[in-house]
Amino acid sequence: MVRGCLLTGVLTVWGVSGSAHAAEVIAIRAERALLDAARGEPGPALIVVRDGRVAEVLAVDAEVPSGPDDSLHEYRFGADATVLPGLIDSHVHLTGDPGGHWWQAAVTTPEYSTAVGLKNAAITVRAGFTTVRDLGAQGQSAQAVRDAIDAGLAIGPRVVAAGKSISIIGGHADVTGFRPEVTEVLSTGACTGATECAARVRALSRGGADVIKFTATGGVLSQQNRGFGAHFTDAEMSAIVETAHALGLKVAAHAHGARGVEAAARAGVDSIEHGTFVDAAAIAAMKAAGSYLVPTLGPTIAYRERVGTGVYTPVVEEKIRIRLEATGKNIKAAREAGIPIAFGTDAGVYDHGRNAEEFPLMIQYGGLTPRETLVSATRTAADLLGLADEIGTIEAGKAADLIAVGGDPLADVTALQSIRFVLARGRVVLGE
């Protein structure tokens, strides 16, 4: 695999480095290959993968360039399927499942969360998502899932992990609802004041975070009832963002209320997660800062399926109803303003593996075209994650992340729920 080559500082890819060696070669002959969701229509192509990377893209009837000692595996897809880049979900929570009781935070160990995350990672990659950004997990569980997948010990997508979210004391992503002495033990991600918030960023960086996530406003599923307004001061938000950027880390801000969105954007966050109640001022601030929107419409699926069933506490149900009334305002406003929209689902709030159900919601509520939704889950998400040189399109030199779906997703995005084949960093995880 290319992982071993990278560790030694050598990248040997057929047609890229100019040197051939015995390796596993995968050839994918597709009558309909959409190499770049942003450009063109699906057409015939032969995609040659060597050592986990795309080596060449050739005419569909070309001979596969492979050496006599190579292990060659060939896959063929006819006109009833479309081959396209692996999908990217910019907002998941692999180490959690929906529907659990709020008090489980007091009894669930990071080790158990890691096991849950490995289970959900396999479900997610087999659903066609070959890269995810995990934005909030207990302890080091998300990093453990990431590292196990990277080491080849488990099946899953590439994971960009935030680790623990940063919050205000008692705010969304902090622990609330328990006796004070229990809360004191469980609360590990909160900060007050610019200096302490900067220290939290540095601690997360030291712990292996790939991205920083902070909760700029209140949230839906937390037990605290403090509304959806801004939680941090401007100085605290600026300290978080400036410290992270100085360390080379991007910053994602959970933000529902308009003033919290506006403040986070002014601080320079790379992405606004949710943005449910944006207004003109919030959108203008995002536009000026170059912040992406990750709209996360998927939780509305879980809310509509579970509200009134006893799954949620009364305080959470009230917030859910307010949240549902504003569904789609965020994505429609961002599209009209030309703000980049990166695909993200908040999977974990609803069931993992149902990530692709976000696509029709983006069309329904935001007026996006099928192609625009595909771009959001490939090129745009890759840009947001800082991985545009590695993923997002199928081209020579990039990681071999690609999928095959039944039908034509440019005509009907529900085709993305019909996954026939998944290649994640050159490893066949579905369709063998």
Q: Where are the domains of the chain?
A: 2-85+393-430, 87-384
What is the per-residue pLDDT for 226? 73
Residue 309: its pLDDT value, please? 87
125/51 Cα distance (integer angstroms): 19
What pLDDT sits at residue 12?
32
Query: Can you list the pairs that 352-355 forms with residues at least 24 positions away whose Cβ atoms lie under 8 Å?
Result: 352/92, 352/94, 352/97, 352/120, 352/123, 352/124, 352/127, 353/120, 353/123, 353/124, 353/126, 353/127, 354/127, 354/298, 354/301, 355/87, 355/89, 355/92, 355/124, 355/127, 355/128, 355/129, 355/298
CATH of domain 87-384: 3.20.20.140
* Mean pLDDT, the chain cut into blocks of 10 residues (432 residues total): 29 38 90 97 97 97 90 96 98 91 78 97 98 95 98 98 93 75 74 97 97 94 79 97 98 97 98 97 98 96 89 88 93 97 96 98 97 98 98 98 98 98 97 80
Identify the CATH class of 2-85+393-430: mainly beta
DSSP string across 21-57 = -S-EEEEEEEEEE-S-TTSS--EEEEEEEETTEEEEE
Burial 36-75 (b: 16+ CB within 10 A, else e): bbeeeebeebbbbbbbbbbbbbbeeeeebbbeeebeeeeb
What is the per-residue pLDDT for 21? 63
Burial of 223 (0-12, 13-18, 19+ CB in 10 A): middle
pLDDT number for residue 78? 97
- pLDDT on residue 17: 39
pLDDT for 3: 30
Which of left, alpha, beta for 346 (phi over 0: left; psi -120 to 50: alpha)? left
User: For residue 348, what pLDDT is reported?
Assistant: 95
pLDDT at residue 152, rounded to an integer: 96
The size of the chain, in residues, is 432
pLDDT score, position 311:
86
